[in-house]
Structure 1
Amino acid sequence: MVSMSATRSAFACATDGFVELVGQIQDPQWHLPGLGVWDVRALVGHSARALVTLETYLNNPISEGSLIESPAAYFRLMLGDGSDPKQRQIQDEAIAERGREAGRDLGANPIEMISSLASRVLVLVEGVKDDRLLTIPAGVISFANYLPTRTFELSVHSLDIAQALQLELPVVLTDAIAASLELAAQIGALRSDAPELLRLLTGRRTQGGSLSVL
């Protein structure tokens, strides 16, 4: 079992790596292709929501709801099982629009905005107890189980930003990426195509279709 000390450290590393990458974005690059339908600004805006939601939920009052018991369960609940392609398309379109809106919300000085947001959140989480409950749209989740999902989002999208702009990955992301790989395996284990994912990860599946834990 991963200690909360390691979980908190991985989140801090993911946040620092994300801020470092964003700090390298030049003015003309914000409108370059980012990921899918997003330009770089929308991609960064979506990525920053990992921090925005954490700050928001920590400042919101706690209410009743179904308890989400693990980081992996959170992702499966939020994304569904993929059995309804139409529903997933609607969901993906909503995520895409929220990303574009988040990009616009970065304002005229996105680097400064991201840096300030990250600093606030890092200070905020220092005083949060591991068992603190957070109310989120999908239910109730402990801080200890929600924080790894933020590390995952920041790590994966830092990879996206680096790839889109051909930037070197910050060394500080190393532990965050390792933690995200562990969570990806946990998410994958809950899927019906878990055997195929294992074949892919062990080099036994090299052709046909596409697999993802998300």
Structure 2
Amino acid sequence: MDYRRTYRAAAIVFADLVSRIPAADLNGPGLGEWTLRDLLGHTVSSALRQVPAVLADRAPGIVVPVPEGYFALLRLAPTEMVGAARTASADDARATGTDLGDDPAREISGWIGKATAALASVADDDVVATPAGGMRVRDWLPTRTFELVVHSSDVAAAAGLPIEFDPETLSESTALAARVAALTGGGLTTLRSLTGRGPLPEGFSIV
């Protein structure tokens, strides 16, 4: 699976989706307490804006050897740390959403250009400093594709707009979610649900 292609494909789907959102809807409901604008801000921050910075920052060694390890670390982190991270993420989402201005689609296209240009300048096995620690580029970038796919689906649901990913991009992110579930103790529950053998518990999540 070409992780570079799936990242670009997910980014293009996100940009197209945002271009179809009426400006009047941006301050409407998004996800939880977030407005739709806040949700766009979080997606830009987590999946686009940080990519050039992370790819430019080399790490001395690998701390997280697989993509699923990135999300597993967040799941297993101390409660206080997770709470602080969520508060910071919410503040950043609102600030970034505001910065998108009156034409979010144009701003997002600019960030996609910067992210893909940065990706073209690194090798698959370069080790970069991510928020979870040193990771190979080929292991970290799928976590950003995951953010694009999941939050684009959130945006589409909030805006009441259709969205469609190509099978390879969707397969990559779905498989990553399953591997996170397996690593954090929910693998069998997930497998049984996907094969029609039982529902997921209320509130079940791999993030």
Q: Would you say same fold, with TM above 0.5? A: yes
The superposition leaves residues 147-166 of structure 1 with CA deviations (integer Å, 9 ceiling, x where unpaired) of 10111000001101111111
Judge which range, 186-195 or 94-103, deviates more: 94-103
Secondary structure (helix, strand or coil) at the match of 1:159 reads: helix
Partner of 2:69: 73
User: C-alpha distance in 1, partners of 2:27/2:115?
Assistant: 27
Pairwise CA distance, 1:123:
2.6
Deviations 1:66-116, CA, capped at 9 Å, x for gaps: 521011001111x2237x656544443332222212212223432211011
Query: In structure 1, what is the equivalent of residue 206 of structure 2?
Result: 213
Contact 1:67/1:139 (<8 A) preserved: yes
2:161 matches 1:164: no
Deviations 1:33-79 (A, max 9, x none): 0111111111011111211111111233x2436521011001111x2
**Corresponding residue for 2:147?**
153
**Alignment partners' CA distance in 2, 1:105 and 1:15:** 19
Quote the residue 1:184 is aligned against: 177
CA contact (8 A) 2:8 2:116 kept: yes
Equivalent pair of 1:37/1:96 in contact (CA under 8 Å):
no
CA-atom RMSD, angstroms?
Answer: 2.0
Q: Percent identity of the aligned residues? A: 33
Q: Is structure 2 residue 30 aligned with structure 1 residue 34? A: yes
Q: Which of 11, 15, 18 is the equivalent residue of 1:15? A: 11
* In 2: Cα distance, 1:157 partner to 1:173 partner: 16
Distance, in Å, in 2 between the alignment partners of 1:182 and 1:117 is 26
Q: Is the 8 A contact 2:61 2:127 kept in 1?
A: no
- Following superposition, which runs of at least 4 residues in structure 1 exceed 6 angstroms of deviation? none
CA distance in 2: counterparts of 1:164 and 1:196, whole angstroms: 28
Candidates 52, 55, 59, aligned match of 2:56? 59
Amino acid paired to 2:4? R
Q: Distance in 2 between matches of 1:76 and 1:40?
A: 27
With the length of structure 1 as denominator, give the TM-score of the two structures. Answer: 0.87
Q: Which moved more, 1:50-59 or 1:194-203?
A: 194-203
Q: 1:202 to 1:104 in 2, by over 3 A?
A: same
Alpha-carbon separation, structure 2, partners of 1:151 and 1:72: 13
Letter in 2 for 1:116: G
Q: Give SS of 1:177's match.
A: helix
SS at match of 1:135: strand
Aligned CA distance change for structure 1 residues 173 and 167 (closer, same or farther; 3 Å)? farther
Deviations 1:16-42 (A, max 9, x none): 101110111111011010111111111
Structure 2 CA distance, aligned partners of 1:45 and 1:173?
Answer: 24
Structure 1 residues 159-214: Cα deviation after superposition (integer angstroms, max 9, x where no partner)? 011111111114x5443212100111111110123222222222222375221111
Structure 2 distance, partners of 1:207, 1:167, is: 26
Number of residue equivalences:
206
Which of 91, 95, 102 is 1:101 aligned to?
A: 95
Is the aligned partner of 1:132 residue 2:123?
no
Q: Distance in 1 between matches of 2:41 and 2:65?
A: 28
Unmatched 5+ residue regions in structure 1? none
